[in-house]
């Protein structure tokens, strides 16, 4: 069953997957695709053509601008913003108001299982890798590797996280999640599940 509350504005050309819930004052634009079992919280915006995998949570007042691509199990925190204009301007050099033909949107790609913290901002055209964690309030200005933990403004990597979102610890020449015991390996600067 799909739940869409009366105050939500879901374009008839959008696709909403089975088991998804669209809450109060949400706007989902034309040709957006929301996967199965997703939750889009109060006041969130999902732009035209945005693609979301299954089991995605977009929290209250988050803004996901087109043409963003969100993998399965992605978490977008409250009031987080995934931007889409690398060089934002309301007007061109001639002083005329820019319309949609005057720029090309560059969407953010978020890998499976990744989480974007509350009020974080991700610059247009970047990739946040699978299972990565972007801290609350971070301003992401470069791609984030898989399993990376980034914080601050501008966001810098402060460690690695596992699938549980807990920071990994170095153990016996490898890496381990203290919550699950799952092991990871750092090979050529890239973290992978062992």
Show Cβ contacts of residue 77 under 8 Å, excluding neighbours closer than 6 positions: 59, 62, 115, 116, 117, 118, 119, 120, 136
Q: 129 and 47 in one domain? A: yes
- The number of distinct structural domains making up the chain is 2
**Are 74 and 124 in a shared domain?**
yes
Question: Is there a single domain that holds both residue 118 and residue 170?
Answer: no
Same domain, 87 and 116: yes
Q: Quick one: 72 and 106 in the same domain? A: yes
pLDDT value, residue 194: 79
- Indicate left, alpha or beta for 137 from its phi (over 0: left) and psi (-120 to 50: alpha): left
The mean pLDDT of the chain is: 96
pLDDT digits (tens, 9 = 90+) for 31-47: 999 999 999 999 999 99
Residue-wise pLDDT tens digits, 154-186: 999 999 999 999 999 999 889 999 999 999 999
Q: Looking at the structure, tell me whether residues 171 and 127 fall in a common domain.
A: no
Say yes or no: 131 and 44 in one domain.
Answer: yes
Res. 100: pLDDT tops 90: no
Q: Are residues 22 and 80 in the same domain?
A: yes
CATH number of residue 109's parent domain: 2.160.10.10
In our burial notation (b when 16+ CB lie closer than 10 A, e otherwise), range 95-125 reads eeeeeeeeeebbbbbbbbbbbbbbbbbbbbe
Domain residues for the domain of 188 are 164-194
Do 140 and 170 belong together in one domain?
A: no
- For the segment 54-75, the average pLDDT, to the nearest whole number, is 98
One domain, residues 116 and 149 = yes
85 DSSP 8-state letter: -
**pLDDT above 90: residue 103:** no
Same domain, 122 and 186: no
Q: Are residues 181 and 148 part of one domain?
A: no
């Amino acid at each position: 069953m799909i739940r869409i509350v009366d105050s939500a504005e879901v374009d008839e050309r959008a696709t909403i997957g089975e088991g998804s819930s669209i809450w109060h004052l949400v706007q989902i634009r034309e040709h957006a695709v929301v996967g199965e079992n997703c939750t889009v919280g109060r006041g969130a915006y999902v732009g035209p053509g945005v693609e979301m995998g299954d089991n995605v949570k977009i929290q209250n007042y988050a803004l996901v601008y087109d043409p963003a691509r969100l993998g399965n199990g992605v978490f977008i925190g409250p009031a987080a913003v995934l931007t889409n204009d690398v060089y934002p301007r309301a007007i061109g050099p001639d002083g005329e108001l820019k319309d949609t033909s005057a720029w090309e949107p560059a969407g953010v790609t978020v890998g499976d299982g990744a989480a974007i913290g509350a009020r974080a901002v991700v610059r247009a055209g970047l990739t946040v890798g699978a299972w990565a964690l972007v801290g609350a309030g971070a301003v992401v200005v470069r791609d984030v590797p898989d399993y990376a933990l980034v914080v601050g403004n501008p966001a810098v990597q402060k460690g690695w996280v596992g699938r549980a979102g807990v920071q990994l610890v170095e153990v016996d020449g490898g890496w381990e999640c203290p919550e699950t015991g799952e092991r990871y390996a750092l090979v050529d600067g890239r973290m992978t599940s062992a």
